Structure formats: C-alpha cells, structure tokens
C-alpha cells in the first residue's frame, strides 16, 4: 500500500509547534545554529598530533597553518577535543530518535568484521584477535559498536555499548562464512597447456589448441575480475552506510575495518592470453565509488583504520603448488605479487584519505585495534569557511602545518565541495544512492537529526490507524536564503513485515519558498510532521527517511512497531 499525502500543508506544520522546552533539552543544536546557507560553508578538519605514543596537548590556533589548494586559509574555529566515554540516548515506549540528549563529544569506535573479502582461515584468526582485545579492554566508558560485512550488506551485531564482555560474547558466537570471492584461482586450465607455443616438443595438435586455451584463460580472468569488482563495490557501499549512521554525531569517529582487503585498483594488470602481464589502468567503477565513499566518510568525520587479517604475507608461498608438475609461470608469480601489493595499497589509500592509519604486516592485530582507539581520545579540530563564490565544485586539497616541532601530525588530505546549486545532477545521483541505502540499512542515518513518536492507534475495521509525528529541531533542514528562503525536503516512511515484505509506504516531497515569518518561526521552534498508517495487527519494522535536497544530507530512523489485535 502506497500512501501519498496532499502537499498543501497536509500534516506538515511549518508553523512549527515543536515546543521550545523539548528542543532545548533534546536537540543536538541550539536554535541559533540553524543551517541557513548564504555565502560560505564550514569545513572541519580533525587533526591528530602525537609525540611518541601520546597526544600533544595545549596547542593553540596560532600553532597551526591551514591551506586549501595551496592557498592559506583563515582558521575560523579551533578546538582541542577530549572525548567523553559515554553516549546518552533517549528512548521510551513508542518514541524513537537518531540523536542523543548530551551535547558533549562522544568517543565512538565501530569494529567492522569483513567476511566478504576475508577467507575462512583469516576470519578465524581475526576473531581470536578481536576477542583478545576485548578480553583486555576495561569497562572505562569506551563506546564500541560491532558490525559484520557479509554477502547481504551490513549487519549490526551489537549496538553501541560500554561492556566489552558483551561484545566478546557476540564475536565468539559469530560463525565463519565463505567469502564471496575465491582467493585461489583454479589451476586446471594452467595445467592443460605448456608455457610457450614455440616449444618443439609439443604433442601433435597442441599448437592448434593453444589459442583456445588462451581464450579460456582470458575468460576466467574476466570472471574473477567481475567477482572482485562486485565485492569491492559492495564493501564501499557498506562503508557509506556506516558513515551515514555516524554523520550526525559530533567529533571524530573511528571505523576499524578488519579485513583481508580487496584490490581497489583491480584491473590495472591483466594476463593476456594466459601468459603475459600487461598494464590496462584502473576501472572507473572503483574510482567513482571510492570518491563517493571518501566524500561521505570525510563529511561524517569518520577515520578508517584498516587492519590486515592476513597477518604476515609471503607471496612466495602462495604460488608454490607441489600438486602440479610444472613450476609456477612468471605471469602467475607477478599476478600474486600485484594482488598483494594492491591490497596493502588499498589499506594505505582508505586510511590516508580519511585521516586514519593502516595496520598490516603484523600478527598482533589486537594491539592494532588498541592503538587505533587511543588516537581518538584526544585531537584537534581546525575549521575554515569556504566561500562558494570563489570555490569551484570538486575535490580540493587540504594541508595543515604545525609551526612548532616535536609532534607528528596527521589529517585527511582534502574535501569534496558541491555547493548548494552546483552539480545538481551529481547531487541528485548521490542523494538517490543515499536514499536507497538508508531504506535497506539496519542502522539509522544521523546527518538530518529528528525524533518521533507513535501517537495513538485507533480501530479502523480489520486494520488499525497508527498516527505518528516527526519532530525536527531548527538545525535539521537547510533553508537557502539565496533562493527566496527555499526549503526542499523529502519525507519517506516504509513499513515492513518480518522477512522484509513492504506493507505500507508514505512518500511526500515538500518544496516551497518560505515567507520571512515562516523562517523566523522555524528558526525558533523547528518543524513538526504528522501522518498515519492503516495496518493490520502484527509486528513490523518501520524505516523513516528524511532527505534534505539542498544540503544533500539524509537522516533516518529504524524502529519497531507492534500493533495488538
């Protein structure tokens, strides 16, 4: 059932009867902080400064110099962040929210166990290392979340918790699963033909078979490339979902990606005719999704810390096979070396582009996790305003220098600027992707903060009428003053039965130019949206998704609804 609500106010109360008292106690931003876009956009750059294994504290804004595209920028805001150990959340029967009531900067770490790209033996070793870390972790208020990446996307294994023992038990119960891709390619085609067509000892007819054999080898290569490309894109989309779930939370967040990795630039080398390695360049699909993933992670201030589940890697052992008569071909050796280098290059790139730090070539993965978390305890945020009148849409380099020595500095190297009106087609495409992922994700997106409640359930024949209300604080939705106070947002609500079948949907686009009085009211009180579902008794999952089409932000809440007979 698809429900469309009439656009003329319907149940959207732009007169904003969102009570000020509720907004003051629960909203993540004050009324004065409403996002009214005019001529500038604030870019926050988290900066890690460490000497040895300790944070360098006490630095001031004048100790930093910040550059965009080689041009020095004025530091408009500066903060030394000492994160808190807990995150407070609100919740009551029939109420739901995607933000908390505490405005302090939390310390949040998400451990993502990647079973898509990790062979079974690596998974077993990785689990033991995660359990070892959690066994040593004390209950200090550190907030951990645990997710798994598998064939069907991302699964929340455990919500944010300060109890390491609860996570330990969850990891111990996690079953090893076969990855989507196979690590070792079949050798039956390689054994079917000699290494060179010029071999004088070739059996009669073997010369005629060689071109066919080369074609089969090429086809096998393309099959594996397609398989790897699919798992690579799936992994990047999952990272986007995690970033969106953390986007509305303040401060720098840590994503520990525990995986055997994938080849981000897979396809740069091909085995031509089954024999010769040739350079072909990276695939566009990887680059496109990679750029989008970095954009979403950076916008959410999520730093990725890749941890190589392979441990110590020696490619010399990977191409040794005593079950075949012939020694490995040079092309095979180079292929394995290229693949291993490509994986570590992926780890380097994901960490570098987000301000994290990779960990590979080590067997103490539990220490890698600990080191990543320690970096998030203390850091600096250096911010500057981007003038959209003089900044073109696209990727812009960031460089931060420290005037005094004695500390190593690390930060993400750039940001993607789209502006409010520029790159409309690209923004629409990314919004559609975010929307689709939000409706399939088990995690709530937090870039657009809101809360809601199921108000009442009334009888309506064999069905029940369920009224709901969504409340947006003043900072939630962008109002573009440069375009006659324009507001442009989508409201979507989807109800699903157990098993995923969709039973009801509300979809409404709200686009209008607001009078000055309307802007003032929203600035002071926020927005309230009301609507209703007609549903039979049962247990349901409800996905609420709000899209701000001007800022390209998405917020969502995933909640449960039980309707008694």
Cβ neighbours of residue 432 closer than 8 Å, sequence gap 6 or more:
none
DSSP β-bridge partners for residue 24:
none
526: left (phi over 0), alpha (psi -120 to 50) or beta: left
Q: Identify which of 382, 402, 398 has the alpha carbon closest to the alpha carbon of residue 72.
A: 398
Sheet holding 64-68, edge to edge: 71-73, 64-68, 394-402, 414-417
Q: Identify which of 39, 20, 40, 38 has the alpha carbon closest to the alpha carbon of residue 30.
A: 20
* Cα-based angle 349, 553, 289 (whole degrees, multiple of 5): 30
Is-contact 311 259, C-beta < 8 A? no
Residue 236 CA to residue 232 CA, distance in Å, equals: 6
Retrieve residue 106's tokens. 């939390």
Instruction: Evaluate whether the domain defined by 108-178+207-375 bears CATH number 3.40.47.10.
Output: no
Q: To the nearest whole number, what is the mean pLDDT of the chain?
A: 76
CATH number assigned to the domain covering 2-38+424-563: 2.60.40.3880
One-letter-per-residue 3-state SS of 517-549: HHHHHHHHHCEEEEEEEEECCEEEEEEEEEEEC
Kindly list the distances between the CA atom of residue 352 and the CA atoms of 98, 181, 230, 516, in Å, as whole numbers in the listed order.
Answer: 29, 26, 23, 44
User: What pLDDT digit, counting tens, does each position of 7-34 carry?
Assistant: 223 333 333 333 333 333 333 333 333 3
Q: Where are the domains of the chain?
A: 2-38+424-563, 108-178+207-375
- Quick one: what percent of the chain has pLDDT higher than 90? 27
The answer to whether 89 and 557 have CB atoms below 8 angstroms apart is no
Whether the model clears a pTM of 0.85, i.e. scores above it, the answer is: no
Give how far the C-alpha of residue 308 lies from the chain's centroid of Cα atoms, to the nearest Å.
Answer: 19
Closest among 1, 12, 11 to 505, alpha carbons compared: 1
Q: Cα(428)–Cα(519) distance, rounded to whole angstroms?
A: 25
For 201-239, letters b (16+ CB in 10 Å) and e give eeeeeeeeebeebbeebeebbeeeeeebbebbbbbbbbb
What tens digit of pLDDT does each residue of 369-380 get? 999 988 888 899
Q: How many CB atoms lie within 10 A of CB 80?
A: 17
Length of the chain as a residue count: 565
Give the number of other CB atoms < 10 A from CB of residue 141: 12
In whole angstroms, give the CA distance from residue 531 to residue 509.
14
d(Cα 139, Cα 136) in Å, to the nearest integer?
10
| pLDDT tens per residue across span 442-457 | 888 888 899 999 987 8
Residue 559: closest CA among 438, 442, 435: 442
pLDDT of the residue at 92: 65
* CA gyration radius, the chain: 26
Specify the DSSP element, H or E, that contains 344. helix 330-354
Kindly give the confidence (pLDDT) of every residue in the chain, 565 residues in length, as a single tens digit, with 9 standing for 90 and above: 333 333 223 333 333 333 333 333 333 333 333 333 334 578 889 999 998 888 998 899 999 999 999 999 999 999 898 876 554 444 567 888 887 645 556 678 899 999 888 888 899 999 999 999 998 877 666 778 899 888 777 888 888 888 888 889 999 988 877 765 544 444 444 444 444 444 555 555 555 555 565 565 565 555 556 566 677 888 888 888 898 888 877 788 999 999 988 877 654 444 444 444 444 444 555 556 777 888 889 888 899 999 999 887 766 665 555 555 555 565 666 667 777 888 888 899 899 999 999 999 898 999 999 999 888 888 999 999 887 777 787 788 999 999 876 688 999 988 877 654 445 555 566 667 777 788 888 888 888 899 999 987 888 778 899 999 999 998 888 888 888 999 999 999 999 988 788 999 999 999 999 999 989 999 888 999 999 999 999 999 999 999 898 887 888 998 889 888 8
Phi, psi of 499 (to 5 degrees): 100, -15
Please tell me whether residue 490 adopts helix, strand or coil conformation. strand
């Amino acid at each position: 059932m698809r429900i469309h609500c009439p656009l003329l106010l319907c149940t959207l109360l732009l007169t904003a009867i969102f009570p000020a008292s509720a907004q003051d106690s629960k909203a993540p931003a004050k009324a004065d902080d409403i996002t009214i876009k005019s001529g500038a956009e604030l870019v926050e750059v988290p900066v890690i400064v460490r000497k040895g294994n300790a944070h360098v504290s006490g630095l001031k804004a004048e100790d930093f110099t910040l550059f965009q595209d080689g041009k020095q920028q004025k530091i408009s805001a500066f903060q030394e962040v000492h994160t808190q150990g807990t995150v407070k959340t609100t919740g009551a029967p029939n109420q739901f929210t995607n933000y908390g009531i505490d405005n302090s900067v939390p310390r949040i770490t998400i451990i993502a166990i990647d079973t898509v790209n990790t062979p079974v033996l690596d998974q077993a070793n990785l689990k033991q290392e995660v359990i070892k870390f959690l066994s040593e972790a004390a209950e200090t208020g550190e907030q951990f979340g645990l997710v798994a990446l598998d064939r069907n996307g991302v699964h929340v294994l455990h919500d944010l918790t300060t109890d390491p023992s609860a996570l330990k038990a969850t990891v111990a119960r996690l079953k090893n699963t076969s990855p989507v891709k196979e690590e070792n390619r079949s050798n039956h085609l390689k054994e079917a033909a000699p290494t060179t067509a010029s071999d004088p000892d070739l059996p009669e007819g073997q010369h005629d078979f060689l071109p066919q054999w080369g074609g089969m080898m090429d086809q096998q290569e393309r099959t594996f490339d397609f398989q790897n490309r699919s798992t690579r894109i799936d992994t990047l989309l999952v990272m986007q979902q995690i970033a969106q779930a953390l986007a509305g939370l303040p401060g720098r967040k840590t994503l520990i990606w525990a995986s055997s990795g994938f080849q981000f630039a897979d396809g740069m080398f091909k085995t031509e005719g089954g024999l010769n390695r040739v350079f072909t360049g990276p695939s566009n699909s990887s680059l496109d999704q990679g750029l989008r993933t970095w954009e979403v992670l950076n916008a959410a201030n999520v730093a990725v810390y890749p941890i190589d589940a392979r441990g110590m890697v020696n490619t010399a052992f990977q191409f040794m096979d005593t079950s075949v008569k012939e020694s490995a071909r040079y092309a095979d050796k180079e292929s394995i070396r290229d693949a291993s280098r490509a994986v570590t290059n992926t780890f380097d790139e994901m960490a570098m582009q987000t301000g994290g730090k990779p960990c590979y070539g080590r067997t103490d993965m539990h220490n890698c996790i600990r080191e990543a978390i320690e970096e998030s305890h203390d850091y600096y945020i250096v911010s500057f305003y981007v003038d959209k009148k003089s900044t073109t849409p696209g990727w812009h380099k960031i460089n931060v220098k420290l005037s005094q020595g004695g500390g190593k500095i690390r930060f993400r190297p750039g940001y993607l600027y789209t502006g409010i009106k520029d790159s409309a087609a690209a923004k629409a495409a990314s919004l559609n992707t975010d929307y689709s992922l939000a409706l399939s994700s088990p995690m709530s997106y937090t870039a657009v903060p809101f809360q809601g409640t199921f108000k009442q359930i009334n009888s309506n024949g064999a069905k029940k009428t369920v009224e709901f209300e969504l409340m947006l604080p003043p900072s939630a939705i962008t109002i573009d003053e440069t375009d006659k106070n324009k507001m442009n947002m989508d409201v979507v609500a989807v109800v699903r039965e157990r098993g995923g079948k969709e039973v009801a949907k509300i979809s409404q686009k709200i686009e209008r130019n607001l009078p000055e009085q309307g802007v003032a009211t929203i600035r002071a009180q926020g927005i309230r949206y009301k609507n209703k579902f007609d549903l039979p008794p049962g247990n349901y999952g409800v996905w609420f998704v709000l899209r701000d089409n001007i800022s390209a932000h998405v917020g969502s809440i995933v909640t449960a609804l039980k309707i008694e007979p």
